[in-house]
Amino acid sequence: MMQESGTETKSNGAAIQNGSSGGNHLLQCASLREGRSNGETPAADAGAAELVHVQQQQALQVARQLLLQQQQQQQVSGLKSPKRNDKQPALQVPVSVAMMTPQVITPQQMQQILQQQVLSPQQLQVLLQQQQALMLQQQQLQEFYKKQQEQLQLQLLQQQHAGKQPKEQQQVATQQLAFQQQLLQMQQLQQQHLLSLQRQGLLTIQPGQPALPLQPLAQGMIPTELQQLWKEVTSAHSAEETTGSNHSSLDLTTTCVSSSAPSKTSLIMNPHASTNGQLSVHTPKRESLSHEEHPHSHPLYGHGVCKWPGCEAVCEDFQSFLKHLNSEHALDDRSTAQCRVQMQVVQQLELQLAKDKERLQAMMTHLHVKSTEPKATPQPLNLVSSVTLSKSASEASPQSLPHTPTTPTAPITPVTQGPSVITTTSMHTVGPIRRRYSDKYNVPISSADIAQNQEFYKNAEVRPPFTYASLIRQAILESPEKQLTLNEIYNWFTRMFAYFRRNAATWKGAIRTNLSLHKCFIRVEDEFGSFWTVDDEEFKRGRHIQRGRPRKYCPDENFDELVTHNPSLIKNMQSSHAYCTPLNAALQASMAENSIPLYTTASMGNPTLGNLASAIREELNGAMEHTNSNESDSSPGRSPMQAVHPVHVKEEPLDPEEAEGPLSLVTTANHSPDFDHDRDYEDEPVNEDME
DNA sequence: CTGTGGCTAAACAGTA
DNA sequence: GTACTGTTTAGCCACA
């Protein structure tokens, strides 16, 4: 009963051990969806997690808005660089704040998270998606930084050549200020995000670890230098150009310039150089840009404008551009410095990209997930897609299933070992896997849960961490009519989960077993065949049909034939309510309050049989309570199931708390005195039969 | 150690 | 006869 909640409790406990009230917001969100109910999850945790979630959403919106603003501003300011304009759409990609913090989660921290053994495939999927989006975002940011760096250089140059093209200069300044604002806000969001994570205990700062969360755009990134340049550039602007935005630049420097930021670059900024546009350069190199080789696609010339960082001089034709280039951007200290700055920027970005690619690869390797990053790294990976279940593993031992990422016993690949090659052996020597964090019936998986990881389970041959009952319920609820035939359920499983595309006999049998075993699944028959519906209320109760109950198969052929070959009986019953006329009013009420919304599609004005069955069952349960008080000593062996039998709805032994005796109200209809059911369990206490 | 719940396999029965 | 569907039971395992 508390089995699965134990897993959740464990995750919370792990988080608490880290000194916070919750886990990763991702984890927390997932667990929130999964784990309401049993009250073991402190309400405060849920509240905190939701708060974090809201914060995340807000941050995400802000980030999106920022990018949108940037695009609009650049459009309004009439950017002369078509290339840059071409880049703009990429910036519209939704950006998660978490994605902006590529270094937020170090490999050690990731490992730490994983070792907490609370990651579910859903959560892993989210992480992977984030990481993939991160890569994309990083590339965009790199482009953006690069462009802005060029603009920065232009600005520096223009300061030197004062009075030159003041209008364009102003536009560029506006642009830069916008970017500066973005930088600031991005970093603020990052810090906010980091603090949130830290509060939740996801980020545990090791004693010897630097204050990572306080490092904006952490290691390797160039923003520190960029911000310094921004500051210097904007400080040179006149007051009317920087009203309001200047505060940002100040904030930026105070907030983001961190001396503790790992500066792996050899770039040395001369604090005084900016005043005269000079940067101290020690080893100038690579200034040859081979401009003339491709005159029509010169990276520094486009749309009649020189695209040298910070220049944007109008050149009517390519020849004039070359002339301008040679005159204004000749080989001198200034140009060399600009090149060097740009080079450092690019190098840092490349380094950062390489690091994150490596991290992504390690994560994917660890999680045994097929990489979606094309050739992210040259490191070979044998991921799930290349893993074929060995016959011995998949057939000889049904327990030797590919472990799910949520499996506590799953071996965590130490990231420090570097990308590992996941072999078939390693995939299947992990022992039995039984973790389903939605095992608890009162913790139904939501559509979002599965939808969120739809692609993951479709492609990764990973066993979904849901019980069969949960999945069956989900399949049924996803259907338009909230009802499925057995074969449709099969199809749903194979369609939604790669895992269920093999060993069909096993899981199909399990599905059938679950359909029969769980009270929540209601089989309804009509002239077209039979289909299954789900009683969600019953599902949440999580009750099984008791073992040892009389088999549904009735040796009494008269009875069976009566119901089996008379599907119309169901319809008749639906219309006439022959068996429950005395309960009609109460039945209506029961239907109204008993999970009817689940069947809204079919229950409009004409309740489905599933509804009817559910309602009848509930009504019978209720009726039992009444009859119990009067007929507690009724003749044993008259199962209420027999009463429900005519509608071919799975007979439900009544719960002990709801029913202690037979239901005489309806058993009289079709019950023969010598019904074999009596004999089947005549030795069993009635109550046991009834649960 | 025990109880509980989920999974799997198997037996069995009915139906198409 | 076969495949499919549905029911039931037993045994195993993980977990609390």
8 A C-beta contact, residue A62 and residue A93: no
Give A313-347 pLDDT, tens digit per residue: 777 788 888 888 888 887 777 777 777 777 777 77
Task: Report the SS3 class of residue A302.
Answer: strand
What string of DSSP letters covers A45-99?
HHHHHHHHHHHHHHHHHHHHHHHHHHHHHHHHTT---HHHHHHHHHHTS---TGG
C-alpha closest to that of A74 among A175, A173, A215: A175
Structure tokens at A129: 């998606």
Whether the pLDDT of residue A641 is over 60: the answer is no
What string of DSSP letters covers A365-408?
HHHT----STTSSS-----GGG----HIIIII-TT-PPPPTT-T
A644 Cβ within 7 A of any nucleic strand B atom: no
Residue A634 lies in a domain: yes
Q: Higher confidence at residue A253 or residue A120?
A: A120
A398 Cβ within 7 A of any nucleic strand B atom: yes
CA atom of A595 to C1′ atom of B15, Å: 32
Residues with Cβ within 8 Å of residue A167, at least 6 apart in sequence = none
Residue A301 lies in a domain: no
Distance CA A662, CA A638 (A): 6
CA atom of A404 to C1′ atom of B4, Å: 23
A544 Cβ within 7 A of any nucleic strand C atom: no
- Exposure b/e, A330-340, CB count within 10 A at least 16 = b: eeeebbbbbbb
Residue nearest to nucleotide B16 (CA to C1'): A529
Structure tokens at A56: 């995340």
Q: pLDDT band at A304, cuts 50/70/90?
A: confident
Instruction: Tally the domains of chain A.
Output: 2
Whether the pLDDT of residue A232 is over 70: the answer is no
A528 Cβ within 7 A of any nucleic strand C atom: no
Whether the pLDDT of residue A411 is over 50: the answer is no
As to burial, measured by CB atoms within 10 angstroms (0-12 exposed, 13-18 middle, 19+ buried), residue A685 is exposed
Whether the pLDDT of residue A483 is over 80: the answer is yes
CA atom of A548 to C1′ atom of C8, Å: 8
| The pLDDT of residue A474 | 84
| The pLDDT of residue A238 | 37
Distance CA A411, CA A407 (A): 9
Phi, psi of A534 (to 5 degrees): -130, 135
C-alpha closest to that of A264 among A136, A153, A103, A147: A103
Distance CA A11, CA A271 (A): 50
Which A residues 479-508 have CB within 7 Å of strand B?
Answer: 503, 505-507
Q: Higher confidence at residue A128 or residue A5?
A: A128
Positions in chain B where some atom is under 7 Å from a protein CB: 3-11, 13-15
A490 Cβ within 7 A of any nucleic strand C atom: yes
Give A425-481 pLDDT, tens digit per residue: 333 333 233 334 333 333 445 555 666 677 778 887 778 878 888 888 888 888 888
A6 Cβ within 7 A of any nucleic strand C atom: yes
Phi, psi of A685 (to 5 degrees): -60, 145
Kindly report the number of other CB atoms within 10 A of residue A443's CB atom. Answer: 24
Paired with A523 in beta bridges are A532
* Residue A13, CA distances (Å) to A112, A118, A193, A200, A635 in order: 14, 10, 22, 12, 51
Task: Report the SS3 class of residue A521.
Answer: strand
Give the helix/strand (H/E) hosting A10: helix A3-17
- Tell me what percent of the residues of chain A surpass a pLDDT of 70: 22
| The pLDDT of residue A366 | 64
Structure tokens at A687: 């109550």
A515 Cβ within 7 A of any nucleic strand B atom: no
Residue A7 lies in a domain: yes
Which residue bears the tokens 């900024």? A269
Residue A457 lies in a domain: no
CA atom of A497 to C1′ atom of C1, Å: 34
Residue A626 lies in a domain: yes
Distance CA A270, CA A451 (A): 54
A10 Cβ within 7 A of any nucleic strand C atom: yes
Distance CA A173, CA A157 (A): 13
Q: Determine how β-strand A305-306 pairs with β-strand A521-526.
A: unpaired
8 A C-beta contact, residue A591 and residue A580: no
Tell me what percent of chain A is helix, strand and coil, each rounded to the nearest 5. 60, 5, 40
Candidate from A70-84, A102-116, A266-280 with smallest mean pLDDT: A266-280
A9 Cβ within 7 A of any nucleic strand C atom: yes
A115 Cβ within 7 A of any nucleic strand C atom: no
As to burial, measured by CB atoms within 10 angstroms (0-12 exposed, 13-18 middle, 19+ buried), residue A552 is middle
Candidate from A106-110, A369-373, A457-461, A624-628 with smallest mean pLDDT: A624-628
Task: Report the SS3 class of residue A526.
Answer: strand
CA atom of A289 to C1′ atom of B3, Å: 77
Which residue bears the tokens 């359909």? A515
Residue A339 lies in a domain: no
A542 Cβ within 7 A of any nucleic strand B atom: yes
Kindly report the number of other CB atoms within 10 A of residue A293's CB atom. Answer: 8
CA atom of A685 to C1′ atom of C14, Å: 31
Q: pLDDT band at A201, cuts 50/70/90?
A: very low
Residues with Cβ within 8 Å of residue A476, at least 6 apart in sequence = A482, A483, A484, A489, A521, A532, A533, A534
What string of DSSP letters covers A338-370?
HHHHHHHHHHHHHHHHHHHHHHHHHHHHHHT--
Structure tokens at A424: 């078939």
A564 Cβ within 7 A of any nucleic strand C atom: no
Whether the pLDDT of residue A226 is over 70: the answer is no
* Residue A122, CA distances (Å) to A451, A472, A557 in order: 10, 18, 49
Largest CA distance in chain A: 111
A513 Cβ within 7 A of any nucleic strand B atom: yes
Range of the domain at A27: 1-35+43-89
Closest nucleotide (C1' vs CA) to A486 is C5
Which residue bears the tokens 């927390």? A28
Mean model confidence pLDDT for chain A? 49
Residue nearest to nucleotide B5 (CA to C1'): A1
8 A C-beta contact, residue A668 and residue A541: no
Q: Indicate the residue among A89, A123, A151 that finishes a domain.
A: A89
Whether the pLDDT of residue A206 is over 50: the answer is no
| The pLDDT of residue A448 | 58
Positions in chain C where some atom is under 7 Å from a protein CB: 4-10, 13-16
Residue A139 lies in a domain: no
Answer positive or negative: Cα dihedral of A628, A634, A637, A640.
Answer: negative
Residue nearest to nucleotide C10 (CA to C1'): A547
A472 Cβ within 7 A of any nucleic strand B atom: no
CA atom of A473 to C1′ atom of B16, Å: 27
Paired with A518 in beta bridges are A544
CA atom of A322 to C1′ atom of B11, Å: 88
A544 Cβ within 7 A of any nucleic strand B atom: yes
Residue A353 lies in a domain: no
C-alpha closest to that of A255 among A181, A351, A204: A181
Distance CA A413, CA A432 (A): 18
A509 Cβ within 7 A of any nucleic strand B atom: yes
A392 Cβ within 7 A of any nucleic strand C atom: no
A54 Cβ within 7 A of any nucleic strand C atom: no
Which residue bears the tokens 């900016």? A274
Give the helix/strand (H/E) hosting A301: strand A301-302
A5 Cβ within 7 A of any nucleic strand B atom: no
- DSSP assignment letter at A518: B
Give A16-33 pLDDT, tens digit per residue: 333 333 333 333 333 333
Which A residues 127-166 have CB within 7 Å of strand B?
Answer: none
Closest nucleotide (C1' vs CA) to A516 is C7
A681 Cβ within 7 A of any nucleic strand B atom: no
* Residue A17, CA distances (Å) to A7, A9, A201, A424, A635 in order: 15, 12, 8, 35, 57
Structure tokens at A22: 């919750």
Number of helices and strands (H, E) in chain A? 28, 4
Closest nucleotide (C1' vs CA) to A440 is B5
CA atom of A656 to C1′ atom of C5, Å: 30
Q: Higher confidence at residue A192 or residue A3?
A: A192
A561 Cβ within 7 A of any nucleic strand B atom: yes
A436 Cβ within 7 A of any nucleic strand B atom: yes
A262 Cβ within 7 A of any nucleic strand C atom: no
| The pLDDT of residue A33 | 33
Closest nucleotide (C1' vs CA) to A512 is C6
Whether the pLDDT of residue A210 is over 60: the answer is no
Which residue bears the tokens 């059938």? A512
8 A C-beta contact, residue A332 and residue A125: no
A509 Cβ within 7 A of any nucleic strand C atom: yes
Chain Cα centroid distance, residue A277: 48
